[in-house]
Amino acid sequence: MNDKSRPKYLEPGQPIEIRVEDLIGRMTLEEKMRQMGMHSITQLLKDGKFSHKLAQEFFKDMGIGAMQVPHLNPEDSAEAINELQKFLKDDTRLGIPALVISECLHGFMSPGATIFPQAIGLASTWDIDLFRDIAAAAAKEARSVGVSQVLAPDLDLAREPRWGRTEETYGEDPYLCARMGVEYIKGIQGEGPAVDGEHVIATVKHFAAHGSPEGGVNLSPVPAGERQLRELYLPPFKAAVMEAGALSVMPAYSEFDGIPCSSSKMLLTKILRDEWGFKGYVFSDFTAINMLVDMHHTAETLEEAGKQALNAGMDMEAPSIQAFGEGLMKLVQKGEVAEELIDRAVSRILRVKFLAGLFENPYVSVERAAEVINCDNHRKLALKAAHESIILLKNKDGLLPLDRDIESIAVIGPNADIAQLGDYSIEKEGTVTLLQGIRNKVSPKTKVSYAKGCGIYELSKAGFSEAVEAARSSRVAVVAVGCASMIKCGIGWCDSNDNAATCGEGYDRTDLELPGIQQELVEELVKTGTPTIVVLVNGRPLSILWISENAHAILEAWYPGEEGGNALADIIFGDVNPSGKLPVSFPKTVGQIPIYYNYKPSARGFYHEPGSLEKPGRDYVFMDTNPLYAFGYGLSYTEFEYSDLDVTPNKISPYDKTTVSVNVKNVGNREGREVIQLYINDEVSSVTTPVKTLRGFKKVNLKPGEKQRISFTLTPDDLSLLDEYMRTVVEPGVFEVMAGGLKKKFKVK
The tens digit of pLDDT for each residue in 644-681 reads 999 999 999 999 999 999 999 999 999 999 999 999 99
Domain membership of residue 432 (yes or no) is yes
pLDDT tens for 108-128 read 999 999 999 999 999 999 999
pLDDT of residue 612: 92
Contact call for residues 624 and 673 (beta carbons, < 8 A): no
- Determine the Cα–Cα distance for residues 693 and 325; give it in Å rounded to an integer: 46
pLDDT tens for 625-641 read 999 999 999 999 999 99
Please confirm, yes or no, whether 285 is among the known catalytic residues: yes
Domain membership of residue 149 (yes or no) is no
- Domain CATH code at residue 714: 2.60.40.10
| Whether the predicted pLDDT of 34 surpasses 50 | yes
**Which residue out of 127, 133, 285, 718 is catalytically annotated?**
285
Residues 6+ positions from 581 with CB-CB distance below 8 Å: 124, 126, 391, 632, 633, 634, 675, 677
Domain membership of residue 491 (yes or no) is yes
Question: Cβ–Cβ contacts within 10 Å for residue 603, how many?
Answer: 14
| Whether the predicted pLDDT of 1 surpasses 70 | no
740-743-748-749 Cα dihedral, nearest 10 degrees: -160
Instruction: Name beta bridge partners: 249.
Output: 204, 282
Q: Identify whether residues 648 and 573 lie together within a single domain.
A: no
- Determine the Cα–Cα distance for residues 515 and 226; give it in Å rounded to an integer: 36
- Determine the Cα–Cα distance for residues 603 and 89; give it in Å rounded to an integer: 59
- Determine the Cα–Cα distance for residues 654 and 457; give it in Å rounded to an integer: 55
pLDDT of residue 205: 98
**Mean predicted confidence (pLDDT) in 31-50:** 96
pLDDT of residue 486: 72
Contact call for residues 82 and 364 (beta carbons, < 8 A): yes
Reported as a pLDDT band with limits 50, 70 and 90, residue 4 is low
The pairing of beta strand 99-103 with beta strand 149-151? parallel
- C-alpha distances (whole Å) from 678 to each of 548, 556, 710, 714 are 27, 23, 10, 10
pLDDT of residue 488: 55
Q: Identify whether residues 397 and 520 lie together within a single domain.
A: yes
Q: Identify whether residues 652 and 547 lie together within a single domain.
A: no
Contact call for residues 631 and 683 (beta carbons, < 8 A): no
Rounded CA Rg of the chain: 27
Domain final residue, candidates 548, 580, 612: 580
**Mean predicted confidence (pLDDT) in 289-302:** 98
Instruction: Name beta bridge partners: 329.
Output: none
Average pLDDT, the chain: 96
**What is the count of structural domains for the chain?**
3
**Greatest CA separation for the chain:** 90
pLDDT tens for 473-525 read 999 999 999 999 976 543 344 444 445 789 999 999 999 999 999 999 999 99
Contact call for residues 181 and 155 (beta carbons, < 8 A): yes
User: Which phi-psi region, left, alpha or beta, contains residue 577 (left: φ > 0; alpha: ψ -120 to 50)?
Assistant: beta
Residues 6+ positions from 437 with CB-CB distance below 8 Å: 564, 565, 566, 567, 568, 569, 570
Q: Identify whether residues 560 and 699 lie together within a single domain.
A: no
| Whether the predicted pLDDT of 583 surpasses 50 | yes
Secondary element (H or E) of residue 127 = none
DSSP string for 508-569 = --S--SPSTTHHHHHHHHHHTTS-EEEEEE-SS----HHHHHH-SEEEE--S--TTHHHHHH
Q: What is the DSSP letter of 413?
A: S
pLDDT tens for 310-358 read 999 999 999 999 999 999 999 999 999 999 999 999 999 999 999 999 9
- Determine the Cα–Cα distance for residues 141 and 104; give it in Å rounded to an integer: 10
- Using CB atoms within 10 A of its CB, is residue 566 exposed (0-12), middle (13-18) or buried (19+)? buried
Secondary element (H or E) of residue 448 = strand 447-451
pLDDT tens for 125-165 read 999 999 999 999 999 999 999 999 999 999 999 999 999 99
| Domain range for 674 | 640-748
Q: Identify whether residues 655 and 575 lie together within a single domain.
A: no
Name the nearest CA neighbour of 159 among 227, 212, 233, 232: 212
Domain membership of residue 566 (yes or no) is yes
pLDDT tens for 413-439 read 999 999 999 999 998 999 999 999 999
This model's pTM is above 0.85: yes
Q: Identify whether residues 573 and 699 lie together within a single domain.
A: no
pLDDT tens for 698-730 read 999 999 999 999 999 999 999 999 999 999 999
Domain membership of residue 290 (yes or no) is no
Domain final residue, candidates 316, 332, 363: 363
- Determine the Cα–Cα distance for residues 336 and 348; give it in Å rounded to an integer: 22
pLDDT tens for 195-222 read 999 999 999 999 999 999 999 999 999 9
pLDDT of residue 126: 98
The pairing of beta strand 658-666 with beta strand 640-648? antiparallel
Name the nearest CA neighbour of 106 among 70, 77, 134, 86: 134
| 376-389 helix and 128-144 helix, angle to the nearest 10 degrees | 150
Instruction: Convert 129-165 into a string of H (helix), E (strand) and C (coil).
Output: HHHHHHHHHHHHHHHHCCCCEEECCECCCCCCCCCHH
Domain membership of residue 353 (yes or no) is no
Instruction: Name beta bridge partners: 204.
Output: 249
Q: Identify whether residues 429 and 503 lie together within a single domain.
A: yes
Name the nearest CA neighbour of 694 among 222, 180, 312, 342: 180
pLDDT of residue 499: 54
Secondary element (H or E) of residue 254 = none
- C-alpha distances (whole Å) from 374 to each of 69, 110, 133, 379, 565 are 18, 11, 14, 6, 17
Percent of the chain's residues with pLDDT above 70: 98
Q: Identify whether residues 535 and 397 lie together within a single domain.
A: yes
pLDDT of residue 526: 98
Instruction: Convert 294-312 into a string of H (helix), E (strand) and C (coil).
Output: HCCCCCCCHHHHHHHHHHH
pLDDT of residue 496: 43
- Determine the Cα–Cα distance for residues 728 and 724; give it in Å rounded to an integer: 10
Domain membership of residue 470 (yes or no) is yes
Q: Identify whether residues 515 and 431 lie together within a single domain.
A: yes
Percent of the chain's residues with pLDDT above 90: 96
In whole angstroms, what separates CA 195 from the centre of its chain?
22
- Using CB atoms within 10 A of its CB, is residue 335 exposed (0-12), middle (13-18) or buried (19+)? exposed
Secondary element (H or E) of residue 269 = none
Q: Identify whether residues 543 and 651 lie together within a single domain.
A: no
pLDDT tens for 390-400 read 999 999 999 99
The pairing of beta strand 201-207 with beta strand 149-151? parallel
Q: Name the 3-class secondary structure at 712.
A: strand
pLDDT of residue 5: 77
Number of H helices, E strands in the chain: 22, 29
Q: Identify whether residues 675 and 568 lie together within a single domain.
A: no
Q: Identify whether residues 568 and 716 lie together within a single domain.
A: no
Reported as a pLDDT band with limits 50, 70 and 90, residue 291 is very high
Domain final residue, candidates 314, 330, 363: 363
Domain membership of residue 197 (yes or no) is no
- Domain CATH code at residue 575: 3.40.50.1700
| 564-572 helix and 376-389 helix, angle to the nearest 10 degrees | 50
Query: SS3 helix, strand, coil % of the chain, rounded to 5?
Result: 30, 20, 50
